[in-house]
Amino acid sequence: MTETIVAWFNETLSGVLPAEWIVLIVSMVPVLELRGGMILASLYRFSLVKAFGLCILGNILPVPLILMFVTPLFTWLKKRKLFRGIVERLEAKSMGKSQRIQEYEFWGLLIFVGIPLPGTGAWTGSLIASLLDIDKKKAFLAVACGVLMASLIMALLSYGIPWLVGLFL
């Protein structure tokens, strides 16, 4: 699914925006985040340094906004009949993943964001931190460290494996 969405962004925005902007935008999008951005950067054959910079920046940019505004936004949206069900499902789904974060706070949040699996990442981690009312500075630092960890893992997968395969072909 990630590959399909990344391909859509690439096809839709190619020629309209520079490749660097496309990677940055993909890294900002929930679900895709850094995972999708790093894959796309490797397909564009960006240097690892360039890929790191764009993907980390794109993935971290929404975090302060989520940490500051998601709780008041959700409170406002739950007062609207149209959005109440959607917000409550999103909160329930996020809180269903929050046990370890609640237990270990900083380290739980860092690991949750840092292991690039479906349903984890900066967006969900920031949402959970907000819903658990974790200190915003502490949450931002944990999410940022998690993004760095995820970028290292994704760099190994997106750049390291193709490099190794190229050695044997």
- What mean pLDDT is predicted for residues 125-150? 96
How far apart CA 41 and CA 34 sit, in angstroms, is: 10
Share of the chain above pLDDT 90, in %: 66
pLDDT of res. 137: 96
Tokens of 38: 């790093």
pTM greater than the 0.85 cutoff: yes
List the beta bridge partners of residue 14.
17
Backbone dihedral region of 116: left (phi > 0), alpha (psi from -120 to 50 degrees) or beta?
beta
How far apart CA 100 and CA 69 sit, in angstroms, is: 23
pLDDT of res. 74: 94
State the pLDDT confidence band at 77, using cuts at 50, 70 and 90.
Answer: very high
Inform me whether the pLDDT recorded for 85 exceeds 70.
yes
Share of the chain above pLDDT 70, in %: 99
Query: pLDDT by residue (tens digit) across 3-21?
Result: 788 788 878 888 889 999 9
